[in-house]
Structure 1
Amino acid sequence: MATIKITQTGSPIRRTSDQRATLVGLGLNKMHKTVEINDTPEVRGMIRKVAHMLNVEG
């Protein structure tokens, strides 16, 4: 299965609680942390919700 590399570039400070929870669900909790996860429609939806705080590769 294909994977996506996601880096958190924005701070969750002053964001809604659901956006913070989405970052945690993606495995991100600190600035400039990078995770590599499987590319699924569910993950794509989570990325779309907080795209303004992420850098996506692949």
Structure 2
Amino acid sequence: MTDLKITLIRSVAHRLPEQRKVVEALGLGKINSTVVQPDNAATRGVLMKIAHLISVEEVNK
């Protein structure tokens, strides 16, 4: 199974409150912070809401 390595590359300052909550829920804080999440439909859907703020890479287990 594949995981997704998600890195915050742009600031959430001056963004919509919904986008800020998504970033916080993923566990991202400051710029260049990184988390690994499972690759599933729910994660992909959330990432589409903040696609302009993040960088995503696939990571094999």
Unaligned runs of 5+ in 1: none
% identical aligned pairs? 38
Unaligned runs of 5+ in 2: none
More helix, by proportion: 1
Distance 2:39 2:25 in 1: 14
Looking at CA atoms only, which structure, 1 or 2, has the larger radius of gyration? 2
Normalising by structure 1, report the TM-score.
0.94
Normalising by structure 2, report the TM-score.
0.89
4+ residue runs over 2 A deviation:
none
Give the paired residue count.
58
Distance 2:20 2:29 in 1: 8
> Which residue number in structure 2 is paired with residue 52 of structure 1?
52
More strand, by proportion: 2
